[in-house]
Structure 1
Amino acid sequence: MIQIICAGWIFGISFLGKNIHPFFQLSTISFYLFATLLVVEFVIHLRISNNYLRLMNALFACAIATVLGMSFSNHQLLERLKYRVEKTDDVEIVVAVNSLNQLKPETIQQQLVVLNQFEKPIIWNSSLKIEQHEALEIGQYYRLQGKVSPIHSYATLGVFDIEQWYIQQNWMGNFQIKAVEKLSEQDIKTLGYTAYVKQNQSFLAKFKRWVELQRLDIRHFIQKQPIQHKGLTLALLTGDESFLNKQIEAQFQRFGMSHLLAISGPHVLIFACMMCWLIHQIIQKYCPQIYLKIPKQYLLIFPFLSCVFLYCAYVGFEIPALRTLLVTLLASVWILFKFPIKALTLLLLSASLLLIFDPFSILSAAFWLSYGACFVLLRIYQTIQEQNFESRNITEKVIQALKILVESQWKIFVALFPLMIIFFKQIAWITPLSNLFAIPFIGLIIVPLDVLAGMSYFLFEPLSQLFFQINNLCIALLLSIMNGIYAILSPQLIPIAMNFWMMLCVILSFIILFLPQGLVPKFWAAICLLPFILSENTKHPFELSILDVGQGQSIFIQAQNHTVMVDTGGYYDEEKFSVGQQIIQPFLSVKGFRTVSHLFLTHLDQDHSGAFSYLKNKLNFEQVYSNEQLDISPSFKFEYCQKGQVFHINPHIKIEVLSPKAEQLAVAKFDKNENSCVLYVQVLNAKNYQNYLLMGDAGWQTEYEILQAYPNLKVDVLVLGHHGSQHSSSYAFLEKIRPKMAIVSAGFNNRYGHPSAIVETRLNELNIPFLSTIENGTIQFSQNKKGDIYINKERDQRLWLKRNNLRS
């Protein structure tokens, strides 16, 4: 029963941030009522013998736990959202610095406890330019001046959600520091924050700051060492990535080994086992009689737990470390009270407890990957227990151990495949092979040496230096092996395109494969073929998405398996942030597409076509159109877009080019905006929104020419020209076509002030509804099987994405 309750609780927490039915948003009284019912159900369960009633009872208990989890997590989220920054502003703040900073190439990232913005202290993430200011000191108070801004994500399906990440970290805003003034503790009390000072002087608060100072000391010590791989050494020891080389990160990503760069459960256990082994040796040598009074497993439990707790604190209580702490704590309780240890129960119970203390952990990929890997290892362990090793010789045992190592790696790779796709949209095919040598090498050699070096630092620095140098040689050997494999095999990350239904079927098939023998027939795993059978039926007859790509434009049109993309968007510096890699490709992966039938680049401005330079090497574009010649390989089919072209995507969907005229193409290079490709999309069997006009960056001149050439043009949805600039969307143009809906694609806090207040005034005077990707994220027009087209806004999908005044 405890497993069912924990599974229901975890499942309920996983709905964190989703818009749930009001029935599930329970008050505190309802919470206790359901808790009471849960206890009653548990008692009833003990008295029921009928299997059917037991099943019903288990389902009811799981349902109650799920409702409680949903209510608890969303209540916690709503409380947290009260304190986030809603608009950009210049402010003066009073702060406390209690945590270690992170060093970046040009800035220092620092968490600040802000005391003077709300009725309680909140946390902002700040950035400090290295050349202008010194780093803020741990344990000190400051008065800071600077600019605070809300956290803003590209709200597009499949894209990494920065707002979610900030909510998970409990960071309520971004702060750019401009001026720094150090304050004394007495100054803080004078300002009226005596209660916080008292709280900050508690034993636990002092202990946390002491740990952070030790992490800072070890960073400085490693920085001074004459070793090459300081970043990897520091990251594996304390989780601090301040010195981590971007090339090393990329190399580990290509090999599917990024998880090895972070602190994991084995790191913690290695340290605890080392310390307990040392304690055991001391006891055995000087006072072995203690074991006659207290058995070894009981005597070493407390130092073992203390070491696990200390190391978890040392690495900042990261999720894998917390998981290890909770599992070891629960296992110790089981041992002390002589309960039989059930590994699956321990795993589920530790996850449930972690989510009670921090329900936002459910948002982390580390949570799912960590517990997912543990579940697979548990199944492997259960398989090993069924085998007889006693009668085998050493050679047979070694061979069997190698078989288990190989089996564990491919099983973990296969089992975590869906999670890797969900969170990262790509996979490294070489992962099982690379983990075969990397996990033993890092876990049995590099990490122990790193831990020994870290421990020696507090005892005898010359010994610590020796261990760090030996460890550096081992890291160099590991990287040399990886470089050799890369030279031979050239492993790369492979983007995977799977839609929701395909992913669901794959997950179900893996669950069937990993269930214990006898529960269900293994051939049922053939369900994984269903995505390819059902994929046609799960795609909308028509879907047009105005993607949130920031200050730019990209529109994706889907009609069953036919795909059209209008523009790709583009960051002003695609090397710094690639819209193609970070937004367009993940979106298409989630949609299940790697091929685009038609790509229209309305013109070659960076914000409309900049991402194409990346995408042309990653996706298959069957036909490319633009108003200028593109620098592309001969294998691409290219054609100029010009007035009069008509494309029938299917019998019900037609795309027509309204501008530019053929004779205007010669000057398109010199007047890109007015010669943008203007597209008219018609969905002949649709209701509500049937006709779409996509203006590119076209302005008043083009609008006039379109009205002259197409006086009876019917428009239901108008994507405003030039991101809502005042030099587009003239009053006469809007008055004539009278769309049911106007859409603008623009970036948060953009320097051009798009969309223009003048354009918004025109729309309001004409009673034309208006949506912007700034407030709504990706805006999607989807047709159901009845022909109705309805609007979806990406920022309606999660509570933390719903924002107001994002254009301020």
Structure 2
Amino acid sequence: MNGRPTMGRGDDNVQLDPDRSWHGALARYARDPRLLALACIGASGGVYLWPTPIAPLLPLAGLLCCLLRFPGRAVLAAGLVAALWASLDVAHRLDARLPVERSGETATVVGRVSGLVSHEAFRSRFVLARDVAPYRVRLSWYDDPPALLPGDCVRATVKWETPHGSANPGTFDYEAWLWRERIDATGYVREAGDCDRAASMSLDRLRALALRRLDRILGDAPARGLIEALTLGARDAISDAQWAVLRATGTSHLVAISGLHIGLIAGVLFFLARWLALRVAPGWSAHRLAAAAAFVGAAGYAALAGLALPTQRALVMVAVALAVMALRRDVAPSRTLAFAAIAVLFWDPASVIAPGFWLSFGAVAWLLYIAASGPRRGHWLAFGHIQLALIAGLTPLTLWFFEQASMVAPVVNALLIPLAVVVVPALLTLTALALAWPAAGGPLLTGAAWLLGAGWQGLAWVADWPLAAVHLTLPGVAALLLAIAGIALLLLPRGLPGRWAGAALLLPALIGWQPADQRIPQEAYRVTVLDVGQGLAVVVRTREHTLVFDAGPAYRTGFDTGEAIVVPYLRHVGRPRVDRLLISHADLDHRGGAAAIVRELEVVRWQGAGGDSPCVAGQQWRWNGVDFRVLYPTRAERAAAADTNGRSCVLRIASPGGRVLLTGDLDAAGEARLIARNAEALAGEVLVVGHHGSDSSSSSAFLEAVRPRFALISAGWRNRWGFPTEGVRERLSAVGAQRIGTATGGALRVAVPGSAERAIRVTRWRDQHPRLWQVP
């Protein structure tokens, strides 16, 4: 007997090996760290994407099931543990947040500046770390703010808010970013007081002092922002124009200290330390010494860069890989990657909702796939193949998160990544020398900045190519997964059957990208009131044409809703051409974003304030069976108006399915003139309420003439004017209008059918895409 169990039946003895039975094999594979990592990622993602917080007791109760023995229980247990950890993290973050009921309060706060301070033209922005909830408050300080440094004590009277941001399709989710950064409240400083606590020394304070010295050394050198980003992780000095070049060429990752840079420093230090250890200390384990030196160097570089969340993820990944190398364990790289993913989720469960998490782990996983499936070539051909395959493989993810992909990225990265092996260590050395010995290191660093500036001109030239970058929206998760699978098939070695079937899997992303609800029938149209805060921006789409009515506000701080909201939304719905940009009047909260729309998109005609022709009553046109007619003002009414609101353009959109009325900021006097001239033309099912719900508009007589079923209000969340006012709310209720606002609903989408037999539908973006971090 060999000790294995036997089963007898007659003269036959059949040996059963538990490790070779189907359930034994299933149990063995269920303990594979790659499956465990997938379970952790899926469970964490499920917790964070569920509309409401999951009670920690639910996954805890599920863990009791794992006391039973069954195949796959290790995977189930890993997922439940990850869900429990993520739900506890969610509960902690929600408890730390400023309650909605206290939004808008004025409070005296005391704390220390955490992280680098962002100095802008009209304000400074910083995070105030406190000992009580809300623990981390992101504050703006206007009107000649002091030169704050990390660690400085601040006592101030602030007006604060629960973290909140605009919610629109295809735009940056500011609330999700605040959640990932653990910001518990936002606000601005009203009055500063004296703080009796001494400033505390920290690595961030040393970074800030180093940046001040670099600013004096480099001055206004165009490459100053690039050097500060690559050495100290500070990217404020990179201009918007430079970011546009980096996005167009697919090189943004080169100036964001994350996996590439941390891995580069760790790799260089590992091989240098191993080479030195073999010669100086042959009796020691060269691998372990090299791994320790590489980790210390990588950790030091990550700390120098501020240990931002992407840098933390990269450091955890590198630490796991170095630990495996130090132990000299024969662990497959894919398993090492799985251990790193589990460690990252344990360190910060919210990483699962960060684009950087998917791009960084996706890049490494894709590299492993390329190495396993790609054909063998010479060194340079292999490097070129890897770069092309890597960019191609990450393009679906890039489109999913950013709706933009660079067509020149493979060539540009193939040239720049090898240079980074030399440039990054050289810049770190020169920066350290310049900070320690400005007389000697300053000129050398200035010379390096000049070389970077010269090279930047070539990168900017490439970014100006017409097809350097494309904007494309994937219709859903299915198209994303099919595109990834298609690219994976196409990269298989030649000769394998079914390889070219991958091209068919790319078709949904390439030609079927437009969602079904975006394909508009003849005589139907769609109206979207975008969530632009205290302002107005409305996009009207017929089957083939696009109208933008008002462009949202722009602020002196540089934030432009035209650039940040309107343009991304139009690209998201596949409308890069604007047939008519109509600005109702000259107030900044309506025309502020117009310049960005004209700069970023093709605008055929700009009408109204700032445009080529005024908005005059009687103007009309017809697109795809939908009628557009300007109802106000006549030239006489424009001359009689007391201010810009009284001259606001009023546009009526009509089809057999219904009417929508856009009134800008028209005041009650203008409404009276309009009623006296043409009251019958005002009737409509949908009204975009004038002047954001101010009492100066939406008079009872006007609302009686319109009799809307839906009243849409574009106003800022908990705005200081209290719009919509109580009087407007009462008057809308009196005519039976259903009141819907962007402040709580996000973007409001109106689907007007081509036939009166079908009903008009109004949907709120926050209702269709709820997230647990959204407020309200």
Q: TM-score, normalised by structure 1?
A: 0.78
Instruction: Answer whether contact 1:723 1:755 (CA < 8 A) is retained.
Output: yes
Instruction: Give the distance between the partners of 1:508 and 1:265, measured in 2 at CA.
Output: 26
**1:145-184 → structure 2 map (5 Å cutoff):** 145-177=157-189, 178-184=191-197
Match of 1:241 in 2: 235
1:446 aligned residue (405, 408, 423): 423
1:611 aligned residue (585, 588, 593): 593
1:611 to 1:331, Cα distance in 2 relative to 1, 3 A: closer
1:98 to 1:767, Cα distance in 2 relative to 1, 3 A: same
Is 1:795–2:756 an aligned residue pair?
no
Secondary structure of 1:616 counterpart: helix
1:376 aligned residue (366, 372, 382): 366
**Equivalent AA in structure 2 for residue 405 of structure 1:** F
Match of 2:716 in 1: 747
Q: Note the C-alpha offset of 1:275.
A: 4.8
1:363 aligned residue (328, 350, 353): 353
Instruction: Give the distance between the partners of 2:338 and 2:738, measured in 1 at CA.
Output: 49
Is 1:307–2:297 an aligned residue pair?
yes
Q: Deviations over 1:348-405 (max 9, x none)?
A: 3322321232122233332232223223322333356x637xxxxxxxxxxx322233
Q: Note the C-alpha offset of 1:265.
A: 2.7
Instruction: Give the distance between the partners of 2:753 and 2:43, measured in 1 at CA.
Output: 29
Q: Deviations over 1:741-774 (max 9, x none)?
A: 2121123465655433432233345554322222
Match of 2:507 in 1: 529
Q: Note the C-alpha offset of 1:513.
A: 1.6
1:80 to 1:792, Cα distance in 2 relative to 1, 3 A: farther
Range 692-701 or range 214-223, more displaced: 214-223
Q: Deviations over 1:625-652 (max 9, x none)?
A: 55x7933xxxxxx7965348463633xx
Q: TM-score, normalised by structure 2?
A: 0.81
Instruction: Answer whether contact 1:319 1:367 (CA < 8 A) is retained.
Output: no
Range 605-614 or range 232-241, more displaced: 605-614
1:312 to 1:762, Cα distance in 2 relative to 1, 3 A: same
1:586 aligned residue (568, 579, 585): 568
Instruction: Give the distance between the partners of 1:33 and 1:484, measured in 2 at CA.
Output: 59
Instruction: Answer whether contact 2:265 2:297 (CA < 8 A) is retained.
Output: yes
1:598 to 1:455, Cα distance in 2 relative to 1, 3 A: closer
Instruction: Give the distance between the partners of 1:667 and 1:10, measured in 2 at CA.
Output: 63
Match of 2:127 in 1: 111
Instruction: Give the distance between the partners of 1:337 and 1:784, measured in 2 at CA.
Output: 66
Instruction: Give the distance between the partners of 1:353 and 1:377, measured in 2 at CA.
Output: 20
Q: Deviations over 1:305-353 (max 9, x none)?
A: 3333343333233344334433333334444665432222322332232
1:539 aligned residue (510, 518, 522): 518
Instruction: Give the distance between the partners of 1:488 and 1:75, measured in 2 at CA.
Output: 47
Instruction: Give the distance between the partners of 1:222 and 1:663, measured in 2 at CA.
Output: 58
**Equivalent AA in structure 2 for residue 717 of structure 1:** V
**1:259-274 → structure 2 map (5 Å cutoff):** 259-273=253-267
Is 1:481–2:447 an aligned residue pair?
no
Is 1:219–2:235 an aligned residue pair?
no
1:418 to 1:286, Cα distance in 2 relative to 1, 3 A: closer
1:232 to 1:362, Cα distance in 2 relative to 1, 3 A: same
Is 1:679–2:651 an aligned residue pair?
yes
1:675 to 1:381, Cα distance in 2 relative to 1, 3 A: same
| Structure 1, gaps ≥5 residues long | 46-56, 189-205, 389-399, 632-637
Instruction: Give the distance between the partners of 1:74 and 1:233, measured in 2 at CA.
Output: 40
Q: Note the C-alpha offset of 1:6.
A: 1.8
Instruction: Give the distance between the partners of 1:533 and 1:145, measured in 2 at CA.
Output: 53
**Equivalent AA in structure 2 for residue 14 of structure 1:** G
Instruction: Give the distance between the partners of 1:78 and 1:577, measured in 2 at CA.
Output: 32
Alignment RMSD: 4.0
Q: Note the C-alpha offset of 1:546.
A: 1.0
Q: Note the C-alpha offset of 1:456.
A: 6.2
Instruction: Answer whether contact 1:597 1:623 (CA < 8 A) is retained.
Output: yes
Instruction: Answer whether contact 2:750 2:761 (CA < 8 A) is retained.
Output: yes
Match of 2:97 in 1: 84
Q: Note the C-alpha offset of 1:676.
A: 3.8
**1:286-685 → structure 2 map (5 Å cutoff):** 286-288=280-282, 290-291=283-284, 295-335=285-325, 339-383=329-373, 387=376, 400-441=378-419, 443-453=420-430, 461-462=436-437, 466=440, 469-484=443-458, 486-487=460-461, 490-491=464-465, 496-501=470-475, 504-505=478-479, 508-515=482-489, 517=492, 521-530=499-508, 532=511, 535=514, 537-539=516-518, 541=520, 542-571=525-554, 576-621=558-603, 626=608, 630-631=611-612, 642-643=617-618, 645=620, 647=622, 649-650=624-625, 654-657=626-629, 659-660=631-632, 664=636, 667=639, 673-682=645-654, 684-685=656-657
Match of 1:393 in 2: none
Q: Note the C-alpha offset of 1:210.
A: 4.3
1:622 to 1:266, Cα distance in 2 relative to 1, 3 A: closer
Instruction: Answer whether contact 1:453 1:465 (CA < 8 A) is retained.
Output: no
Match of 1:194 in 2: none
1:774 aligned residue (735, 743, 752): 743
Range 601-610 or range 477-486, more displaced: 601-610
Instruction: Give the distance between the partners of 2:427 and 2:619, measured in 1 at CA.
Output: 68
Secondary structure of 1:759 counterpart: helix
Count of aligned positions: 726
Q: Deviations over 1:39-84 (max 9, x none)?
A: 867x625xxxxxxxxxxx99xx58x866776675455335313333
Instruction: Answer whether contact 1:624 1:639 (CA < 8 A) is retained.
Output: no
Q: Note the C-alpha offset of 1:136.
A: 4.6
Match of 2:71 in 1: 44
